[in-house]
């Protein structure tokens, strides 16, 4: 292994992660023969095959799996060292990997925008997916930080509340209930209901609320996206429970009404979290401190002050990927 270069490990890591020589070559701006050559040399050094091909798919061998874990450790140590070195030079730089639940995408990019303006040398990768996947990623310690609703006790994580997350009942603006006061839960249960997909935190909280009152909703449709649900509600196909954050900066706001229902809003909170035992990088620690200190900003983002908002450009957000 003495002669294996960091470059070879970098090439190996990209192939193992992307499960493709072609995509790894593209990501690293190398030709495919160069990538194959690097892997051939690495395999010779190790003396064991690292990949096996079945049909068109490639899989890691046992030795490949062990090397992949080792690579992640090595790269993690290097990026920590880079952060420490730039901190010593008086700058904050490095990469911040954040994963957030679907509904948090309504405020996280703005939070990150302001953070990135303050720390222009920090690159951010943001993953947006539903609660179930976020919990899997958190358990697997795949990212630096997570933003999500309440975390189950069974998940071993450090978590802290940083923002309110009120869940409200939405109907079309011209719905007969839109002008009524103190609408009963029974009345809501008579309406066709549009529900988020299984695994969604919004859905879990909604089901918990209605089952806590021994009531059952008349679910007409299940949809995996807040935007699709708002369209459906505006189209008068039913009512829904969503986070009030989903209404912020919304061009459709005039087509939707928040109903005055007894027991609502459901008072939830947003938490930031990371795996217990994780040593936070300097950059992740900087972001946490920024979240804790940005009290005014968070007050504004909690959407109590109408729907207008200033959205800074996300110049150094390296990648935003979203499942929905």
Q: Find the shortest distance in angstroms from Cβ 182 to ligand PGA.
A: 25
38/200 with CB nearer ligand PGA: 200
Radius of gyration for the alpha carbons in the chain, expressed in angstroms and rounded? 23
Nearer CB in complex with ligand PGA: 130/281: 130
C-alpha to C-alpha distance for 150 and 131, rounded to whole angstroms: 10
Q: Name which of 76 and 323 has its Cβ closer to ligand PGA.
A: 323
Query: Minimum distance between the CB of residue 167 and ligand PGA, rounded to whole angstroms?
Result: 7
Instruction: Report the Cα 186 to chain-centroid distance in Å.
Output: 34
Stated as kind and residue range, the H or E segment containing 309 is: none
Cα separations in angstroms, 275 against 26, 105, 201, 280, 292: 32, 21, 19, 10, 19
Q: Specify the 3-state DSSP secondary structure of 149.
A: coil
* Beta carbon nearer to ligand PGA, 45 or 197: 197
**Least Cβ distance, residue 153 to ligand PGA (angstroms):** 15
Q: How many CB atoms lie within 10 A of CB 3?
A: 9
Identity of the residue, 64 or 109, whose beta carbon is nearer to ligand PGA in the bound complex: 109
Give min distance, CB of 200 to ligand PGA, in A. 3
Residues that bind ligand PGA in the complex, under the rule CB under 6 A: 101-103, 130-131, 148-149, 165, 196, 200-202, 268
CB of 159 to ligand PGA, least distance (A): 12
Chain residue whose CB lies nearest ligand PGA: 201
d(CA 201, CA 122): 30
Neighbours of 30 (CB within 10 A): 18
Query: Residue 109 or residue 149: which is nearer to ligand PGA going by CB?
Result: 149
Closest CB 231 distance from ligand PGA, rounded Å: 17
Residue 170 has which token pair? Answer: 């939405």
Cα 183 → chain centroid: 34
What per-residue string of b and e applies to 82-102 under the rule 16 or more CB within 10 Å gives b? bbeebeeeeebbbbbbbbbbb
């Amino acid at each position: 292994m003495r002669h294996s270069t960091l470059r070879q490990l970098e090439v190996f890591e990209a192939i193992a992660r992307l499960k493709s020589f072609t995509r790894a070559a593209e990501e690293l701006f190398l030709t495919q023969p160069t990538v194959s050559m690097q892997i051939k040399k690495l395999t010779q050094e190790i003396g064991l095959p690292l990949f096996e091909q079945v049909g068109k798919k490639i899989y890691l061998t046992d030795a490949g799996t062990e090397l992949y874990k080792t690579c992640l450790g090595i790269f993690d140590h290097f990026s920590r060292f880079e952060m420490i070195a730039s901190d010593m030079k008086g700058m904050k730089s490095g990469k911040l990997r954040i994963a957030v639940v679907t509904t948090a995408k309504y405020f996280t990019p703005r939070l990150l925008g302001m953070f990135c303006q303050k720390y222009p040398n920090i690159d951010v990768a943001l993953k947006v997916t539903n609660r179930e996947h976020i919990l899997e990623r958190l358990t697997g310690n795949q990212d630096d930080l997570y933003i999500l609703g309440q975390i189950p006790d069974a998940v071993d994580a450090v978590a802290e509340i940083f923002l309110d997350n009120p869940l409200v009942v939405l109907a079309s603006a011209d719905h007969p209930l839109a002008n009524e006061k103190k609408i009963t839960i029974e009345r809501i249960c008579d309406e066709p209901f549009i529900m988020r997909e299984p695994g969604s935190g919004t859905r879990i909280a909604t089901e918990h609320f209605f089952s806590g009152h021994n009531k059952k909703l008349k679910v007409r449709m299940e949809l995996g996206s807040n935007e699709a649900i708002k369209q459906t509600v505006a189209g008068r196909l039913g009512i829904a429970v969503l986070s009030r954050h989903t209404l912020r900066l919304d061009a459709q706001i005039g087509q939707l009404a928040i109903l005055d229902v007894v027991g609502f809003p459901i008072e939830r909170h947003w938490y930031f979290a990371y795996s217990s035992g994780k040593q936070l990088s300097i950059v992740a620690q900087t972001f946490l401190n920024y979240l804790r200190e940005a009290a005014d900003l968070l007050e504004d983002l909690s959407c109590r002050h109408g729907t207008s908002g200033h959205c800074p450009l996300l110049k150094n957000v390296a990648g935003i990927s979203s499942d929905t």
